[in-house]
Structure 1
Amino acid sequence: MPVHILEKRFRFDPLTFVRLRRLLHQNQPDVVQSFLFSANSYVRFPGVCPSGSKIVVAERCVDSWKSGWQLRIDRWLSNRMDVMTANSESVAEFYRSVVGVDEQKISVISNGVLPPSTTATETANAPDLRTELGLPPDTPVLGFAGRLAPQKCLNDLVWAFHLLHQAVEGSALVLVGDGPQRDQLAEFAESVGCRSRVFFTGHRSDAAQLIPQFNAFCLPSSFEGMSNSLAEAMAAGVPVIASDIPANADLITNEETGLLVPCGESVAICKAAQRILTDNNLAKSLGEKAQQVIQSKYSVEQMVTSHIELYERMAGADR
């Protein structure tokens, strides 16, 4: 399949409109699929797509971060497409209620989650997280994987761990990923007295092999779409703790497939983590049930099939 690079230079590059329009009109595609704000705006701009092409735009997050001008563009273009796909019910509700997208034009297709590595080669090549960090093999690890950014509310997690490590002897907090808050989080951990037990791995291409080594996974975010890292932890059978925002509640049934806690409440995070790290039966039950849910409802095969069915329906709509 040919790949064309448009060489977009900045946020709204007029030449990109021209190049994209020329390319689409030359190829006359049955369906044009775009992802996220910039691409979604380009393809919906009048005249860019051929009149016979069906436009499918995809949104992946409850975009409360968007500025006023971005929301105005979204609202102006809100119904200049045939379908908007959302990866969770919470994302669909945001674009219905805040942006004003016609409910009939929204289709929810959840992210597909790959199963954890299971082959002998992958298992043998997986790095041993505790050895790498200089920790004893029986260290209780509370972990996070993702971007170290304000949205993730990681100060709440660090403060929760400050309380937790006094109750669960020898425990460690491992933050996999990088982002603008890394230095600030390290300084905060130092200020509350737990820096020696908080470990930053930086960006890791092997994050999927590290997550299964956590004893518990925590995602305290203030907003999400459908968190891949949360779903990956559940797929690996790692018991999870997450803020009770709509996107996380879409994935987790509280006390059955994970523990939901009020957003911003470090004490609640600490208590939930302590329950998991000190109750093997609870940890095993939460992890197994979460794994079953991901395998049955969020497979890559289901995601691919849903997209193929959507494209076939769009391509054949006027035939």
Structure 2
Amino acid sequence: MKTKLLLIIPTLDRSGAEKQCVLLASHLPKAEFDVHVAVLTRTGPLAAELEKAGIPYTVIGKSWKIDPVAYFKLKRLIRRLQPDIVHTWLFAANAYGRRAALACRVPRIVADERCVDPWKSEIHLRIDRYLARKTHGILTNSRGVVDFYTKHGIPADQFTVIPNAVLLPEMPVSGRSAKKSDDVRIDPRFEEKPEIADDPYIPVVVRDFVPPEKPFLIGIVARLWPQKRIGEMLWVFESLKFTGMNFHALILGDGPERDLLLRLRDMRTLSDCVHFLGHRSDVARFLVHFDLLLCPSGYEGQSNAILEAMACGIPVIASDIPGNDELVVPLETPDWKESHGDASDDSPDAPRQPTGVLVPECGDDFRRRRSLFVKEILKLYEQDDLRRSLGEAARRRVRDEFTLENMIDRHVAFYRQPAGNHD
């Protein structure tokens, strides 16, 4: 008999947690799981992927922070579906979904915390602690998230860590940062990768502003809001421009800071080399052309942008924060290969090969943090071989540790566990 699973998530926007939820819903074994998705607030572009996979979903339509109508709609849906497991994602769905599942006496209730959340007030954390006592398990994607919630009073033994998965079908591998190898599936259209200015799969609006002399391409894939520190990177790009570096920065994503960031870019006279491309559904087409990816966030859970770049063989320069430090193996010394040369890549005793650079947070000294980003970008700009070796190691790391199959298998094993008793 199939296990009835109800996944509850706030939206179907194209964001990190939503991507992982849809991946999970679409790829759980259909012979074992009957999956339904409840969307608490609104639908979004990921709805098309659920429809393609044949996964039914229901939009509840929550309109206010405290919305009793949405709560009763959710309870009615749960009573109609009679799920064996309710699995909720992110704060709003964790709060509404777990409370409704408790009221409907669902046999097993699972929550999912996807990010270090310093924005949460004491009221939010009290709700989290109360509902954690009623929950049969909490999933997360990184140890950093576990540490955050443990500090706020939720026992560590309630958490199970299942890393994110990256699924990029027919993903091209960067021509600059990786070499073609037998274990990588390459889109045949990229076997002889054109420069971005000639690539027919990149929108004309992008090809028009990238000059033909092959500039160094820096990518950022992020929502435009304070957590992501895009404003700091504009300072970094201004400093790079003063050095005479031939680069273009492509920023993919949208958000509430877009207008402010555009004004700051223009004030710093960066419009000739820094380009805001807005929300993109074809991020993979851009990743292959990047020479490196920046992820300067102030806090994360586990960044999909980093994983997707690593899967393409793109080295990453990221802030040294919980979550990022579980993805990026940092370059400790420039002579890493020399100091570890005796260890085979396939040896169980071999150290993990560096895949990128982690930039220290430097406390409140944001000027020093910016300067370190400039320094590390220039280092990779000047060292093609180093950049290539980091990219190759990044691609192998994703292939070995962050596959869709691994993520699905670990969720299936978790769902099969007995529920246990909770008050």
Give the structure-2-normalised TM-score. Answer: 0.70
In structure 2, the residue matched to 1:41 is 95
Deviation of 1:112 (Å): 0.4
Deviation per residue, 1:215-241 (Å, 9 max, x gap):
111011100010100111111111110
Which stretch shows the higher mean deviation, 245-254 or 14-23? 14-23
Deviation of 1:205 (Å): 1.0
Q: Percent identity?
A: 34
Distance 1:168 1:228 in 2: 32
The alignment partner of 1:285 has SS state of: helix
In structure 2, the residue matched to 1:112 is 165
Q: 1:132 to 1:232 in 2, by over 3 A?
A: farther
Q: 1:168 to 1:240 in 2, by over 3 A?
A: farther
* Structure 2 residue 403 is the aligned partner of structure 1 residue 299: yes
Distance 1:188 1:3 in 2: 41
> Contact 1:109/1:303 (CA < 8 Å) preserved in 2?
yes
Q: CA RMSD in A?
A: 2.2
Q: 1:225 to 1:10 in 2, by over 3 A?
A: same
In structure 2, the residue matched to 1:79 is 133
What amino acid is aligned across from residue 9 of structure 1 in structure 2? S
Q: Would you tell me which structure has more helix in proportion to its own residues?
A: 1
> Contact 1:42/1:48 (CA < 8 Å) preserved in 2?
no
Q: 1:122 to 1:6 in 2, by over 3 A?
A: farther
Structure 2 stretches of 5 or more lacking a match? 1-54, 173-185, 192-198, 332-353
In structure 2, the residue matched to 1:280 is 384
> Contact 2:60/2:70 (CA < 8 Å) preserved in 1?
yes
In structure 2, the residue matched to 1:248 is 324
Deviation per residue, 1:241-267 (Å, 9 max, x gap):
000111111111110111011234111
Distance 1:66 1:31 in 2: 27
Give the structure, 1 or 2, with the largest relative contact order (CA under 8 Å, sep 6 or more).
Answer: 1
In structure 2, the residue matched to 1:18 is 72
In structure 2, the residue matched to 1:70 is 124
Task: Choose the corresponding residue for 1:217, options 286, 293, 298.
Answer: 293
> Contact 1:83/1:105 (CA < 8 Å) preserved in 2?
yes
* Structure 2 residue 132 is the aligned partner of structure 1 residue 91: no
Counting matched residue pairs gives 316
The aligned runs of 1:178-189 (5 Å cut-off) are 178-189=254-265
Q: 1:6 to 1:314 in 2, by over 3 A?
A: farther
Give the structure-1-normalised TM-score. Answer: 0.91
Distance 2:210 2:377 in 1: 22
> Contact 1:153/1:221 (CA < 8 Å) preserved in 2?
yes
Deviation of 1:126 (Å): 2.7
* Structure 2 residue 355 is the aligned partner of structure 1 residue 257: yes
The alignment partner of 2:309 has SS state of: helix
> Contact 2:75/2:100 (CA < 8 Å) preserved in 1?
no
Distance 1:113 1:47 in 2: 30
> Contact 2:71/2:100 (CA < 8 Å) preserved in 1?
no
Distance 2:300 2:272 in 1: 30
Task: Choose the corresponding residue for 1:270, options 344, 364, 374.
Answer: 374
Distance 1:225 1:114 in 2: 18
What amino acid is aligned across from residue 400 of structure 2 in structure 1? S
> Contact 1:21/1:48 (CA < 8 Å) preserved in 2?
no
Which stretch shows the higher mean deviation, 295-304 or 63-72? 63-72
Deviation per residue, 1:270-294 (Å, 9 max, x gap):
1111111110011001111111111
Q: 1:168 to 1:294 in 2, by over 3 A?
A: farther
Which stretch shows the higher mean deviation, 164-173 or 152-161? 164-173
> Contact 1:17/1:48 (CA < 8 Å) preserved in 2?
no
Distance 1:4 1:195 in 2: 43
What amino acid is aligned across from residue 102 of structure 1 in structure 2? P
Structure 1 stretches of 5 or more lacking a match? none
What amino acid is aligned across from residue 77 of structure 1 in structure 2? L
Distance 1:46 1:199 in 2: 45
Task: Choose the corresponding residue for 1:61, options 112, 115, 127.
Answer: 115
Deviation per residue, 1:165-205 (Å, 9 max, x gap):
23353211211111122222222223333332111111111
Distance 1:308 1:137 in 2: 50
Distance 1:17 1:277 in 2: 53
> Contact 2:101/2:109 (CA < 8 Å) preserved in 1?
no
What amino acid is aligned across from residue 103 of structure 1 in structure 2? A
Q: 1:23 to 1:211 in 2, by over 3 A?
A: same
Deviation per residue, 1:130-182 (Å, 9 max, x gap):
62433225111111011111101112211111111233532112111111222
Distance 2:218 2:269 in 1: 17
Distance 1:49 1:109 in 2: 28
> Contact 2:228/2:298 (CA < 8 Å) preserved in 1?
yes
Which stretch shows the higher mean deviation, 81-90 or 64-73? 64-73
Deviation of 1:49 (Å): 4.7
Q: 1:22 to 1:210 in 2, by over 3 A?
A: same
